[in-house]
Each structure stands twice: as C-alpha cells, then as structure tokens.
Chain A
Amino acid sequence: MPDYELRVNGKTRTARTDPDTPLLYVLRNDLALNGPKFGCGMAQCGACTVHVDGKATRACVTPVSTLAGKAITTLEGIGTPDHPHPLQKAFLDEQAAQCGYCTNGMIMTAKVLLDTKPNPGAAEIKQALAGNLCRCGAHNRIVRAVQRAAKAAGA
C-alpha cells in the first residue's frame, strides 16, 4: 500500500492505504477526526461532507489518491469548542439539531454557501442544503442557524 500525503486542516498528514480508499475512512480512522460521518457511502446524504480546496465534497466517494496538493478541511478545522466558527455557534444558539448525525454535513455545506454568498435568503439556504438529508426534522432550525451565522459574520 502506498503512502498518501494529505493536507488536512492546515497540517500535512500521511496515510498508508490503497489508492481507491475513500477519504472518509482516512479522516475518521487514520486521523481520528469525528466530524465527517459515514451515512450512505454513495454521496446521497451529505453526512460525510468536507471541503476540498474550498468546495463541499463528499468524502465517502472521494478516493484518497485524487487529493495530492489539495487543501482538505473538516468540521474540526473550521472552529473549536473554545473558538467556534459563527456557524457552529449559531447551531448551538438555535439548538439546530436533534440527533446531530447530519450536523457535520449541514455546517460544512452551509459554510461554502456563506463563503460565496454572505447574506442568502431562506430559499437560497434551503436550495443549498437540498442534497443534505436530515431525518429528525430539524430543517427549519438549521435554516435559522445559517441565517443567524450570516448575520453574525456580517455584523
């Protein structure tokens, strides 16, 4: 198995695995990152979403061999409990979750939206999150959290 050098959350990390190994398993198992979650393995639900060069990417279908020289960011990379990203803070302020399994994908997808469009309307947020599944029915809270984060970032 070859070694792959990955740039994750600003640090260079190495993983020894097969070229077709989905990035998700390397992040979770080799790098001990909990943010991205396994949901479907088929890019259908969004729970595994990470950023690759600033783009929302489904880690469950992204082979590790395709990531040389690219910047990978996970939920852990955008903020910490002590220094949360405005989205992380807004999700707490709005209590925008029930089980929280989809939360990673929601925050990571919303961040890309806010990076490109700082003040989206509710309809735009819903459209941006249309490919992220939530089963508990926290959708409206999530939309409010994204709006709140947008306001906080603009303030």
Chain B
Amino acid sequence: MNPQPNRPSRRAFLKRGGVIVATFSLAGPAAVAQPRAPLPGSLNTNRGLDGWIRINANGRVTIHTGKCELGQGILTALAQIAADELDVAYARIDMVSADTARTPNEGMTAGSLSVQNSGTALRYACAEARSLLLAAAAQRLNVVAEKLSVADGAIGASPGRLTYWELAQDLNLKREATATVKPKPPARHTVIGKSIARRDLPAKVSGGAAFVQDMRLPGMVFGRVVRPPSYRATLLSVNEAAVKAMPGVVAVVHDGNFLAVAAEREEQAIKAAQALRISAKWRETPDLPPGGAGLYDHLKKMPSRDTVIKRVVPAAASGGKVLTLEAEYTRPFQSHGSIGPSCAVAQLKDGHYTVWTHSQGVFPLRTDLAKALRTAVSNITCTHVEGSGCYGHNGADDVACDAALLARAIGGRPVKLQWMRDDEFGWEPYGSAMVIKMQAQLDEAKNIVGWQHETWSHPHSTRPTSRPDGSFVLGGWHLAQPAPPSTPNNSPQPSGAADRNAVPLYDFPHQNVLLHFITDMPVRTSALRTLGAYANVFALESFMDEAALAAGVDPVEYRLRHMKNPRARAVIERAAQAAHWKAGAKGDGSRGRGFAFAQYKNLAVYCALVADVVVDRRSGAVRVTRVVAAVDAGLIINPDGVINQIEGGIIQSTSWTLKEQVNFDQQRITTRSWADYPILTFPEVPEVEVHLINHPDENPLGTGEGSQGPTVAAIANAIANATGKRPRDLPFTPEKIRALSA
C-alpha cells in the first residue's frame, strides 16, 4: 500500500480525540494603510508567507491552504505544487486545510478555482521561501545563492551541505510575500504533471478515520434534528416532556420552529427524534409552485430582476433574408444527492464553539454561525474535516448550525449530528429549475448572424457569504429569534451564476443575452455543481445543433465555422478525431451520436465531447453507451486527477440528464429517499474516454465542472440524431422520449 504521508493535526485528532495545536500568525506584518500591489492567486488576500508554509526541523514541510478536500484530490495537487517549487520530496509534505484558527482564508472551495487560487499562491509562496532558504544557506556557506542547487531540501554539494531542516530555526517566514521570485518553468517540474496517488485514499479503502462522520470525541453524544414537514410550516405544539423522559436522552431543543435532540447513543437519538416528530403539530400552507410542465410557466411569470448580460450589435446589419429559429429548454430542480447525509461535530466549552464540518467554506460558515448563535465570530472555530462528496452547497453548513445549537444546549460535551436521508433530500438547497428561450437568425449562407439567449432562474448561490447582512444556515431561520437570510445576488460576469455560460464563446455578430433572476425561492435553491452552466450549455449547444441541422451542415463543422478561439477549436477537433466522428452521419432510429463543447465559465477548462446513445423506441429508454472527451486544462498538475474529474462529471451529468428531478406537491417536498430519486447505476454507466491536451506554459484551469454542460447537450444531440426528435425538457425519462416520437 502507498505510504500515507503524516497528517499531524487532524488525523491525530481523529485518533486520539484531541490535540491542541498552537496557532500562529496568519496575517504577516501588521496591515498597513497604504495600497499594496496585488499578489497572485490567494496570496493577495493572505500575504504572510508563514500563513502558507512551515519548514520543520524534523525534515517535514507543513503546507496550509484555505481550500479543502471534497474528494476532488485538491490536497494532493497542492502538495505536488509545493514539493516542486520548494524542491523537496513529495512525501515530506503535510497538508493542513481550511481551519479558521490555522489556515489562510480562501473563502469557498468552489467554482473549480482551487488550483487557480490556492495553487497559484503556493507556487509563488514556495518559490519565495525556497529563495529565502537559499539566501540563508549562502550566507552561512559564504557563497553566492545563485550558485547553490537544491535536491530534496539539501542545499549545495557535500561536504559543507546544508539542509532546509537545519536552516528551519533561522528562517523567518513572518514576512509579507512579494511574488518577486518566479515559479519554476514547466521544463523543471518533476512532481507537477505526474499522476501522484491521492493522499486521502489509503484511509478510505481500509476503514481509517477519514470523514467527520468517523470522529469520536471523549464524552460525545449523538444528535438528530426534527425539521418542519414543509418549508414555511410553524410549530403549534410538541410534547417535549415525553421525549426528555426517553432512554438516553440528554437534551431536547425547542426554539421557535427548531427542534433537535441529543442522546447518549445514536439509535436513541434517532428514536427520540422520531417521537418528537410524531408529537409535533404544525401549521402548513400550500405555497409551492405547480409541478410538471406548469412549473416552467409559473417560473416565467414570477417577479424577477431582469438584466442584459451581454449585448453585441453589429456596426452594419446584414442584409438579405434571414431564417429565424426558436426553441425553449427546461430543467427541473435537481438534488446534490450526497451518498453520506451531512454531518458535523460541535462542542461549546468555556464560551467557545468548536465546529468540525465538511462545509466548503469554513470562514463564511463561521460568520453565519455567529449570527444564528448570537455570538461573536471570535467565539467560534470551524475546522474542515471531509464529508461525503457534496457537488456544491448541500446540507453541510446547515448541519453545522444544527450541531452547534445542540452543543449550546448540552453544555461542554461534544455532539455529533448526522442528518437522516430524508433530511438531506428534503432540506438541501437544490439546483434551480430553469427555463431558457433561444432564438437565432441565419443568413442566406446559413451562418448564424443573430443569437438570443434568455434565462429564467432562481439563485444559484445562497451559501454563507461572510456578508454582514443575512444568514444562510437553515437552523438560524427556524429559531424564535430568527437569523433570516438576506436577498441573494447573482454573481457578475464573466463567471456569472444563473447566467453562467449563457454568453456564447462563438463569434456571433449580433448577441443578446438576458437574465430573469427570480430571488423569491418557494423551493430552496443554491449552488449545484456548475450552477446555471449545466442548463445554459444544454440550451446553447442543443440549439447550435438545431441551427446546424437547419443549415444542413455537420454539427462539428458548424461549430468550427463560428469559433475563432484556437484552444476551443483544438479541443473540438481533438474530440471529433478521437471519437472518429463522421461528418453528416445519420442515426438509425435507435443509435445516434451527439457533439457538444463548452469552456466552463468561458474562462476555465475547455471540454468537447461525443456521446453515443441507444434509444429503445418502444419504451423510450435512453442508454448512453460511450462518451469520448477532449480536454484542455492548461498546465496539468495531476493528469489522473483531471481525468477523474472529467470522467466523474460526465457520469454525474448523464445521471442528471436521464433521471433526476426533485418532486413536490402543493405543500411538501415529496422526494425523500433514493426510491424517489433514482440515479444512474453501474449497468447504466457509459464507457468514458478522456483525452488531455497539455499546455504547460499556460495557467492551470479549473476542471471540476468542465464536462457536465457538454455532456447534457451531447446526449440531447445524440437522441435527436438517433430519433429525429429533439428532447428539450429535462430529464430525458422514457415517458418523455416516448412521447416525443408519438
């Protein structure tokens, strides 16, 4: 088995149940009032070198990052970067991540930005630390630093050799980063670019303590929460006394509409929560939107903030006849569906809360916890410990608040609270339902001269934000003295959120991109992997095929005809070539192929892919048999890591596309278990082939969300290719595909 590098802090904590680790300066020199030069990546907001790097006398290097492991392999990739820039063996690196007491504040681990933000910071910080170590060595050895070489932390040639570990004590990293030392040129990378095995996996295959669910602290009790039966239900009565008398029950919290229990044993907590649920009487209102097709008409009628996202008007209008195409695409509410329901451990001791959480943003979470708990931010420490894959904003932050509220009632003892399956399905914030209306004008040569993209959507980020107003943790909303949310915003372009990837990368002379941003959320929504890009790329890339079909041109050729961006062209050509795309090939009524492309956010990874489908004409069942993708992620840190992300994204998106929809009646969410929310299973999973185009001299580009958009569109295009009928309403269930052909 691969040796597991030491993880001094968290692993020790999980094993031994508590180690105090000294905190150290995060800020570098005291903040000065004068404006400071911008620094690369997250160095700009976390300027002290010692906040990132510690060289230890024992021959180990501790790297601190504000980003956290979500199963995407980020800690492995960041350790690779640090090893290469410092010139030390990869096995010497220990990672400390996302802890409000110990690491840089890098906000959220989201948006496929970790390599770009944290990785860039580490490249510069480590390069600078290396040069400081060389300068210290040069002084001691009385030589010029430029003449010294480093191999695995050993400077110069023996005899007279010095090591980083000998210099550690004298090295002062309590200084502001300058970013004046250039990171290594790619030709000198020895660890970057290698498929180093993930550092977190050995524990996960052998039953090691790997997740917050695996934490056990001395005296720990178990908690469960009892949520209202519907979003805006109010509690009329509950029999607390009976539940308090149940075996093992340590505390019952009843605060407004917030109900939770803690017990000595987990099964006792579950039983007590069940009893509490049965005894609780609620007032509910039937205030959910209509389901089915009615949902989308309703969405388009809701009050919205309307914004022109992009408008390009050509200097001279093209003359001649134009052909106008129009189509509307829809996507339902969809669930993150984490396999492990959200979990947190919390403890209140001497007025200070410690919360172990799998939140994607421990610093923003801390801010919102402070509002819900009505305490100062300085009274809370949030430490990231891994959870089940989240794919965006699931119940992680909410359960952390639930656990903290219980910890407050217990006094001193730590409490572990895991949501039940139906808590997660019923209360996690979903990916928003969306409607997208497309219009295109084709000139006489059948080229696209006009392009309109109009999106209706609820918010795609209602995460804790570190903003002074509003709190985005569920528990706080339900308290008698609530900490309510504020009105969420839509992130601006070029990344966008609801409008993410709504702006075409194609060179259409006339463009009009509009967003109807619906801030009212009768159904709770937030960030699901790719935000609006999944649906926007579905519409954009389906519509490209519709235009190509109307033009009588092969879809790949048609895309290239409208695309100048050379890197986009290269992935499109590579995917077509790798999949042996045959221009103009027609489906046979059952089998079909589809193509699609996107550059995630128009600024991250480029991904083009070909999907093969088989449609059972009688049942309408669609099987995606194979997907071939081409990917340009700039400088690749860990090739297998990139492939894993792209491949996982393709499979997850196939599942969203063929199967997934959250259901509700007038009052309640009715999707409460896997029986209500089927996802793709092993026999249904397509073969996946990923081709990487490495650009070592370019910046690394985030990959975690690169393939989901192209996948849905390629599947839609493949179904249209196979059957001659175009699916525009997600998910593509057998009933819907059957109805198309009827």
**Interface residue ranges, A against B (CB under 8 Å):** 1, 17-18, 21-22, 25, 28-29, 32-35, 37-42, 44-45, 47, 74-76, 79-82, 84, 88-89, 91-92, 95, 97-104, 107, 123, 125-127, 129-143
Contacts and interface: CB of A to CB of B under 8 A. Distances in A.
Nearest to B674: A44
A-B pairs, 3 with minimum CB distance? A99-B71, A137-B651, A100-B204
A103 B204 contact: yes
22 contacts: A1-B247, A17-B267, A29-B216, A37-B213, A37-B339, A39-B340, A40-B421, A40-B673, A80-B206, A81-B208, A84-B205, A88-B205, A92-B2, A92-B201, A97-B198, A98-B644, A101-B340, A127-B683, A133-B674, A135-B391, A139-B682, A140-B647
B652 A126 contact: no
Contacts of B652: 135-137
Given A92-B1, A127-B682, A18 B267 contact: yes
B741 interface: no
Main secondary structure of the interface of A (DSSP, over half): loop
Contacts of B205: 75, 84, 88, 91-92, 97, 100, 103, 107
Interface in B124-138: none
Contacts of A45: 339, 674
Interface string B668-688: 000001110001111101011
Contact of A25 (B4, B214, B265): B265
A74 B207 contact: yes
A47 B685 contact: no
B206 A100 contact: no
Contacts of A28: 266
A38 to B, nearest CB: 6
Given A127-B682, A136-B71, 20 more contacts: A22-B267, A34-B207, A34-B214, A37-B339, A42-B421, A45-B339, A75-B207, A81-B1, A91-B201, A92-B1, A92-B202, A99-B388, A100-B201, A101-B389, A133-B339, A135-B679, A137-B648, A137-B649, A138-B644, A141-B647
B420 interface: yes
Interface string B1-42: 110100000000000000000000000000000000000000
Contacts of B389: 98-99, 101, 135-136
B206 A75 contact: yes
Nearest to B73: A98
Contacts of B222: 29
B651 A97 contact: no
A87 B655 CA distance: 27
Contacts of A100: 71, 200-201, 204-205, 210
Nearest to A82: B1
B339 A25 contact: no
A87 to B, nearest CB: 8
B358 to A, nearest CB: 10
Contacts of A80: 206
Contacts of B71: 97-101, 136
B675 A44 contact: yes
A99 B265 contact: no
Interface in B235-254: 247
B1 A39 contact: no
Contacts of A138: 644, 648
B207 A35 contact: yes
Contacts of A81: 1, 4, 202-203, 206, 208
Interface string B621-646: 00000000000000000001000100
Contacts of A141: 644, 647
Contacts of A97: 71, 198, 201, 204-205
